[in-house]
Structure 1
């Protein structure tokens, strides 16, 4: 059974919610999972103990969180050496012209500057959680929403996450990992046959 580390950083919790859905689906597909918040100072993350990685991070004011970016910078060689997958969560992905990896500029800017090269990336719309923001964030995000055609009603929260898209991401990741297992088993079988014939 492959062990998959699920690593994330969230602000108000929507990225964590998405990751927990991914965790459930990956376990239903037969993978063993463990979830880690990269900011948690009390948790030691030994990446060497895992066969694959799924990472998720939200964006605030156009940038992925600093601690998450630093974590990737510190561990990109291990991430690149094994199957790894990344999803970005931001409110601009609520728009059709910003909802794909190739047209979401925040995701593209991050991928262009990180040494990490995930096997698969995706972008999910997050949630507009006015009731959870502090006063400064509420006013700042309300202004951004006004400028970009979003909701400015601070009395209610709106979830934009497309859960069918999250489900598709999980199925694609599971398929990729299953293919990796089959390729490894085939390679080992070929090696065994070659040794027996020598």
Structure 2
């Protein structure tokens, strides 16, 4: 490629408890192993960058109480033309994706709802199961998440720390994203 920026990837993310950042860091490792230069940044800091300097853009966002953070849709709306002008993708991180019948963009209710709510249609999408870390949550969040888990037949032990992320799927997504053509 003649344009060095075509090999520069921006991974911009929104996270609540930090697990989405871990996923972004793993994606960065995969992409760097494929010769890409990768910048990982919070979505709240991404608008301060000159986004035209990136040949690819990947947006990742976690779910809390059924919703992505508002900044995700705001960033997409503000930069939609740029996202549509180059290979770009989106991934969602949520605990519901721990279930085999809810772990794809087509079957995950939160990802489907979000993609219907925005006008940008990413060229590639993924859903990854996140991490449940009861001890790190405040009292109210811990109780609310335990109630949600009770209703959805998930783990409710308040001492439980469970990572549901399929790292092989994360790595495969990183390779697939790098293979997108302009």
- CA deviation profile, 1:75-120 (whole Å, cap 9, x unmatched): 1111111110111000100001101111111101111121212110
**d(CA) in 2 for partners of 1:48 and 1:57?**
21
Measured in 1, the distance between the counterparts of 2:15 and 2:33 equals 24
Residue 7 of structure 1 pairs with residue 12 of structure 2: yes
Shift of 1:73: 1.5
3-state SS of paired residue (2:79): helix
Query: Runs of at least 4 residues of structure 1 off by over 4 A?
Result: none
Counterpart pick for 1:97 among 76, 95, 101 = 101
Contact 1:6 1:36 in 2 (8 A): yes
Structure 1 vs Structure 2 CA RMSD: 1.4
Would you say 1:110 and 2:114 are equivalent positions? yes
Match of 2:27 in 1: 22
Q: Deviations over 1:4-36 (max 9, x none)?
A: 101001011110000000001101100111111
TM-score (norm 1): 0.86
- The answer for the alignment partner of 1:193 in structure 2 is none
Q: How many residues align?
A: 177
Q: Where in structure 2 are there 5+ consecutive unaligned residues?
A: none
Equivalent of 1:87 in 48, 70, 91: 91
Q: Which residue of 2 aligns with 1:74?
A: 78
- Quote the residue 1:146 is aligned against: 150
CA distance in 1, matches of 2:179, 2:83: 19
In structure 1, stretches of 5+ residues that fail to align are 181-198
Greater RCO between the two (CA within 8 Å, min separation 6)?
Answer: 2
